[in-house]
Amino acid sequence: MKRHINKMLTLSFLLGLLLFVPSGCSLDDEVDPNNPSLNGVLSNASISELNNIVIGSESGMRDAIEYYLDDVGVVGREMYRFAGSEPRYTQDLLGQENATLDNNAFYTTRQWHATYRAVKNCNILLASVDNTGAPTDAQKQGYRGYANTIKAYELLIALNLTGSNGVRIEVADPNNLGPIVPYNDALTAIAGLLEQGNTQLTNAEFAFTTTLAPSVADFQKFNRALAARVAAYRGLYTDVLTYLNASFFNLNGSFQTGVFHVFSTASGDQLNRFFLAPNATGEVRVAHPDFITDGVAGDTRLQKASLRNAPATQSGLSSNYDVAVYKSNVAPIPIIRNEELILLYAEAKIQTNVLPDAVVAINRIRTGNNLVVYGGGVTAAALTNEMLEQRRYSLFCEGHRWVDMRRYNRLAELPLDRPGDDVWPAFPIPFAENVGQ
């Protein structure tokens, strides 16, 4: 698999997007007036129209990714988000004094709405493929496998935020939405979508180009990589190893091999809005001070935080280091990459008590980041601590730290920087989604 495909989504393509926008529980459809009606697409879509839905899905996947990274990064104490006009980043997200998470605030609703726009596009794609004779059977399976994989990923992003509060899985019929389902049931459903997608991708063909992978085979490896992540969340570690073997996992391969959200300056395309220029003022993302002080000298991953000319401060918080994971406003944002897969392999080996293999994987991460080999105890407890520490630095500001600490029941270990602050275990379900529950 290539490191990532940085294709430009040109204006001519984007003018052909079909946008389906949810509004609370109703998930109403809005049809682009420049394109055929929704009913027309559902009844007799051409390959070009189906491909426009693919493009719309990938555009939608990126729409609010910066809000997701801010949410999990701030609550997980990887970073601070300072914004002169928006104090809730340092109040609500950090639980300052009597602040709590608001179920109708932007940090709750923006990513949720973006998730279900992308899911809706995938459901439209699935329904359209079932009601058209334009593609071949193999191409139809390609659309289906693609749609179910993207649905699973998007629902997992929503579930990562809401945690024990669950998510809504069934939304294909806007007039008969399914219930909010609990966390474990939601993970099971997401795993099922990935299995369905994997089966559909076998012997399938793509009649479209996707920015996520150059071929059906590579996209299927992406599906299996996501399945390994979900299996780890479910505690199914033998399955993790099985899925890794079918993915692009490579113990000795490049850490950067993987699947990415891509951005460009092309007219009509999107920029990486998580990127902020070094030494910015007003709108700032800075590394939590512990990222530097807890680090080991010489670790190349410390370069993910860059020293500022002057400290950034707000609401009694301060940092000398900018978040520097993404070097420009067109830098790709990982969805899943080989460095995470190596760490999932280490985790699975620890949990299945094959500790020497876990040490090998941990040393691959350590030496690949300019550290000496692991010298601690070779016990499950010691190696779990080490694995989580390596995940902290390898996956910094990629959306994992808070989720990892929660699934290992370690949220109490995250620092509280001001008296009265809180570490939240989950975001609330958006207010509009609770109507009728």
Domain ranges of the chain: 11-273+330-336
Of the listed ranges 1-5, 78-82, 159-163, the least confidently predicted one is: 1-5
Q: Can you tell me the mean pLDDT for 227-244?
A: 98
Phi and psi at 318, nearest 5°, equal -150, 150
Residue 311 vs residues 90, 200, 289, 319: alpha-carbon distances, Å: 16, 52, 11, 6
- Whose tokens are 């439209």? That residue is 124
* Parallel, antiparallel or unpaired: strands 317-323 and 180-181: unpaired
CATH of domain 11-273+330-336: 1.25.40
What local confidence, expressed as pLDDT, does residue 42 receive?
82
> Which tens digit of pLDDT belongs to each residue from 354-381?
999 999 999 999 999 999 999 999 999 9
Q: Can you tell me the mean pLDDT for 318-344?
A: 98
Alpha carbon distance 143, 139 (integer Å): 6
Tell whether the model's pLDDT for residue 21 goes beyond 50.
no
Tell whether the model's pLDDT for residue 400 goes beyond 60.
yes
Tell whether the model's pLDDT for residue 343 goes beyond 80.
yes
Name the 3-class secondary structure at 382.
helix
Q: Chain centroid to CA 214: how far?
A: 20
123: how many CB neighbours lie within 10 A of its CB?
Answer: 21
70: how many CB neighbours lie within 10 A of its CB?
Answer: 24
413: how many CB neighbours lie within 10 A of its CB?
Answer: 11
Tell whether the model's pLDDT for residue 418 goes beyond 90.
yes
What local confidence, expressed as pLDDT, does residue 40 receive?
63
Alpha carbon distance 133, 115 (integer Å): 29
Q: Can you tell me the mean pLDDT for 33-41?
A: 54
pLDDT tier, 23 (very low <50, low <70, confident <90, very high otherwise): very low
Alpha carbon distance 355, 159 (integer Å): 31
What local confidence, expressed as pLDDT, does residue 430 receive?
97
What local confidence, expressed as pLDDT, does residue 409 receive?
98
183: how many CB neighbours lie within 10 A of its CB?
Answer: 16
Tell whether the model's pLDDT for residue 14 goes beyond 60.
no
Tell whether the model's pLDDT for residue 399 goes beyond 60.
yes
What local confidence, expressed as pLDDT, does residue 38 receive?
66
As a whole-number percent, the residues of the chain with pLDDT over 90 amount to 86
Tell whether the model's pLDDT for residue 103 goes beyond 50.
yes
What local confidence, expressed as pLDDT, does residue 24 receive?
42
- Whose tokens are 């914004």? That residue is 83
Tell whether the model's pLDDT for residue 169 goes beyond 50.
yes
DSSP string, 123-162: HHHHHHHHT--SS-HHHHHHHHHHHHHHHHHHHHHHHHHH
Report the mean per-residue pLDDT for the chain: 91
Contacts of 407 (CB under 8 A, 6+ apart): 233
